[in-house]
């Protein structure tokens, strides 16, 4: 079955530079009965009816079934004229295009056969073309009959084997590679012929060469890098300077050592419950009447309201004032008016009375009427005119001041340091200096709930709350460090490498602002940067680079480490140079 292109076929890929003689030679040299010609796109050699017929004729002459694999309409039309089978791809069965598809403009008059004259020129002979066409037509007709017969017999077999044996695009690529390999093997060039005969070795060698080039580029252009470790000779020094401070921004002059103070505050409220220990009797007060007497020769005695009368340690307060008076003439007002001896000896005895109330509630203030045992801090004699009655007891728990004082002290002790820590945590110490000696803590009023003397209800606990305000002054760290660097008076080619955090001692309030002493310590050394080192050494040999670095004042040890042993110079690329500055203090 010659039209089954996937079986016993020879696929020939026509190269753009192939002429008609090359194509005919490939057909004649093919060892397979079926020859599939695969032309390139826009093949010029197949756009001539003469060439198409020559292909058909040469195939028939050597007993080959030639098939064109193309979808180019122009080539298909010419193949139809020459009765040359055509297929769309290597997987489709070939057919001879029908006469109807041949364009009417393609006539015998348009077709020419080129013959080469002695001068190397081509001449046209139409008759020869017609004869060749007739011969080709007869051969094509016979082949078509044979093809149709074979096609009828093998249709069922083709249908069963299409899916199994259907070639892919990879097969076509492999066939093309074989053709290329054959061309190399038959080349007159010894190198190309050797490559065709030893393809695997040639490929392996090419890959190895590429890898060698890549490794070389990496090893000598990409990988080389150096690390320079530079030891700097430095010295340490202490700094101490008297400075002033102001809380007015417009008065600041940092260059002269006068810094602006910024106050930072934090307010916190602390609460704590406590046990009340106070007791209070809220019962009824006992009351009654008290009488007072006195001997007068003339004049009067006043017992004011609120006068305290005591009886066996119990105190009572008078509700109203008592006035005792005698003018020296009317003895009828005297209680001892019938006792002449008493009148002569003691004077006129007068009396008065008023209501009194126990100063505290309680049943103990209920006492019987008594003429003795009462006392008062005046020149009068007192006695109970009536019994003291109505006193009751009802003792409750209340807050007393000692309870509040104790818990307030406890709160201040426990929260004092915590509040300071919280305040300092709000300050950015990278940009500010805290003047620790300016820290202040103001404790606000202590508030008790319930208040002093108030009852604490059963099942509840009294609570104390204290509001505390903590404050501290800070100054700008950058301005301070600039001031220190200026005052240090280093040489032009030296700089400060490190500085301990500056601090202020003896911070005091002055007549105008504040004063204090600014202190710190610092380490100074040669003024050189990593970028400067890179600019000095890049592109130089290792020895030259080391020599140039030693000329810099203040540089001590120099160590140059390379990424690989074959690196003998510093790369030009700064990204390939690492500089490590090691500061070593001189003892």
> Is 499 contained in some domain?
no
As a whole number, mean pLDDT of residues 545-550 equals 85
290 and 168 part of one domain: no
Per-residue pLDDT of 248-272, as tens digits, reads 999 999 999 999 999 999 988 888 8
Higher pLDDT, 415 or 541: 541
**483-489 long-range contacts, Cβ below 8 Å, gap at least 24?**
483/241, 483/243, 483/254, 483/255, 483/257, 483/518, 484/239, 484/241, 484/518, 484/520, 484/522, 486/255, 487/239, 487/241, 488/237, 488/239, 488/522, 488/524
168 and 296 part of one domain: no
Per-residue pLDDT of 63-111, as tens digits, reads 888 998 988 888 888 888 888 899 988 888 888 887 554 444 343 333 3
My answer on whether omega of the bond before 361 falls inside 30° of 0, hence cis, is: no
| Phi, psi (degrees; rounded to nearest 5) at 91 | -95, -10
First-to-last CA distance in the chain? 102
- CB atoms near residue 462 (< 10 Å): 24
48 and 182 part of one domain: yes
> Is 290 contained in some domain?
yes
Q: Is the pLDDT of residue 135 over 70?
A: no
Higher pLDDT, 167 or 45: 45
Mark which of 130, 158, 186 sits at the end of a domain.
186
Tell me the three state secondary structure of residue 345: helix
DSSP string, 358-401: EEEESGGG-B---SSSEE-SSSSEEEESS-BB-----EEEEB-H
As a whole number, mean pLDDT of residues 485-503 equals 86
Least trusted range by pLDDT, from 54-63, 213-222, 509-518: 213-222
> Is 199 contained in some domain?
no
Domains held by the chain: number? 2
At 119 the pLDDT is: 40
As a whole number of angstroms, the distance between CA 417 and CA 470 comes to: 10
pTM (two decimals)? 0.43
Residues contacting residue 180 through CB under 8 Å, at least 6 positions apart: none
* Structural domain span for residue 99: 9-186
At 180 the pLDDT is: 56
52 and 174 part of one domain: yes
Q: Is the pLDDT of residue 208 over 90?
A: no
List Cα–Cα distances, 191 to 23, 40, 110, 183, 431, in angstroms: 25, 27, 46, 13, 76
Confidence of residue 219 (pLDDT cuts 50, 70, 90): low
Residues contacting residue 195 through CB under 8 Å, at least 6 positions apart: 184, 202
Mark which of 165, 186, 207 sits at the end of a domain.
186
At 328 the pLDDT is: 85
180 and 294 part of one domain: no
174 and 291 part of one domain: no
Token pair listed for 569 = 């110079």
Tell me the three state secondary structure of residue 455: strand
Q: Is the pLDDT of residue 525 over 60?
A: yes
Confidence of residue 344 (pLDDT cuts 50, 70, 90): confident
Q: Is the pLDDT of residue 136 over 90?
A: no
Token pair listed for 207 = 């890959």
CA proximity to 566, closest of 213, 211, 215: 215
As a whole number of angstroms, the distance between CA 165 and CA 170 comes to: 13
46 and 176 part of one domain: yes
Mark which of 326, 360, 393 sits at the end of a domain.
393
Contact criterion met (CB below 8 Å) for 16 and 7: no
Higher pLDDT, 117 or 77: 77
Confidence of residue 28 (pLDDT cuts 50, 70, 90): confident
> Is 343 contained in some domain?
yes
29 and 141 part of one domain: yes
Contact criterion met (CB below 8 Å) for 58 and 22: no
Share of the chain above pLDDT 90, in %: 30
182 and 292 part of one domain: no
> Is 318 contained in some domain?
yes
Structure letter (DSSP) for residue 575: G
> Is 82 contained in some domain?
yes
Q: Is the pLDDT of residue 171 over 70?
A: no
Token pair listed for 32 = 């397979």
42 and 182 part of one domain: yes
> Is 404 contained in some domain?
no
Q: What is the mean pLDDT of the chain?
A: 80
Q: Which residue has the tokens 């074979």?
A: 150
> Is 95 contained in some domain?
yes
Q: What is the largest CA-CA distance in the chain?
A: 200
The side-by-side arrangement of strands in the sheet containing 463-476 is 262-273, 463-476, 432-449
Q: Is the pLDDT of residue 567 over 70?
A: yes
């Amino acid at each position: 079955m010659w039209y089954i292109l996937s079986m016993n076929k020879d696929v020939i890929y026509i190269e753009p530079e192939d002429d008609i003689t090359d194509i005919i030679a490939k057909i004649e040299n093919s060892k397979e009965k079926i020859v599939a010609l695969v032309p390139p796109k826009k093949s010029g050699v197949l756009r001539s009816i003469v060439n198409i017929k020559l292909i058909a004729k040469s195939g028939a002459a050597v007993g080959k079934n030639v098939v064109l694999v193309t979808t180019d309409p122009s080539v298909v039309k010419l193949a139809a004229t020459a009765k040359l089978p055509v297929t769309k791809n290597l997987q489709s069965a070939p057919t001879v295009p029908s006469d109807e598809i041949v364009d009417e403009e393609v006539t015998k008059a348009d077709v020419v056969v080129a013959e080469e004259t002695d001068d190397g020129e081509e001449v046209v002979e139409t008759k020869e073309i017609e004869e060749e066409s007739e011969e080709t037509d007869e051969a094509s007709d016979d082949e078509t009959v044979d093809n149709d017969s074979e096609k009828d017999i093998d249709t069922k077999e083709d249908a069963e084997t299409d899916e199994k044996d259907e070639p892919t695009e990879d097969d076509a690529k492999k066939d093309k590679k074989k053709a290329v390999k054959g061309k190399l093997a038959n080349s007159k060039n010894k190198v190309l012929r050797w490559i065709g005969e030893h393809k695997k070795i040639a490929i392996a060698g090419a890959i190895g060469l590429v890898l060698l080039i890549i490794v070389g580029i990496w090893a000598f252009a990409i990988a080389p890098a150096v690390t320079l470790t530079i030891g700097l000779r430095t010295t340490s020094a202490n700094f101490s300077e008297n400075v002033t401070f102001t809380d007015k921004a417009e008065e600041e002059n940092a260059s002269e050592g006068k810094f602006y103070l910024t106050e930072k505050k934090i307010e916190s409220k602390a609460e704590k419950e406590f046990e009340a220990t106070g007791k209070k009797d809220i019962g009824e007060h006992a009351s009654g009447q008290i009488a007072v007497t006195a001997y007068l020769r003339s004049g009067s005695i006043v017992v004011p309201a609120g006068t305290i009368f005591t009886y066996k340690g119990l105190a009572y307060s008078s509700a109203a004032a008592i006035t005792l008076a005698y003018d020296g003439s009317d003895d009828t007002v005297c209680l001892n008016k019938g006792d002449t001896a008493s009148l002569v000896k003691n004077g006129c005895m007068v009396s008065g009375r008023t209501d009194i109330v126990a100063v505290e509630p309680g049943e103990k203030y209920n006492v019987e009427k008594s003429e003795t045992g009462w006392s008062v801090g005046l020149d009068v004699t007192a006695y109970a005119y009536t019994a003291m009655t109505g006193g009751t007891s009802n003792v409750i728990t209340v807050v007393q001041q000692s309870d509040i004082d104790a818990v307030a002290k406890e709160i201040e002790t426990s929260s004092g340091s915590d509040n300071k820590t919280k305040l300092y945590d709000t300050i950015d110490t990278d940009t500010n200096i805290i003047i620790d000696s300016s820290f202040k803590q103001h404790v606000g009023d202590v508030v008790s709930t319930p208040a002093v003397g108030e009852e604490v209800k059963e099942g509840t606990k009294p609570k104390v709350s204290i509001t505390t305000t903590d404050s501290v002054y800070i100054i700008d760290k950058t301005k301070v460090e600039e001031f220190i660097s200026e005052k240090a008076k280093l040489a032009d080619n030296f700089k400060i490498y490190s500085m301990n955090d500056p601090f202020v001692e003896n911070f005091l309030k002055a007549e105008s602002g504040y004063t204090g002493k600014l202190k710190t310590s610092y380490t100074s050394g040669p003024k050189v940067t990593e970028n400067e080192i890179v600019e000095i050494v890049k592109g130089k040999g290792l020895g030259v680079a080391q020599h140039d670095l030693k000329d810099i004042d203040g540089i001590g040890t120099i160590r140059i480490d390379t990424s690989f042993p074959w690196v003998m110079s510093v790369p030009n690329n700064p990204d390939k140079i690492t500089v490590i500055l090691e500061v070593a203090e001189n003892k």
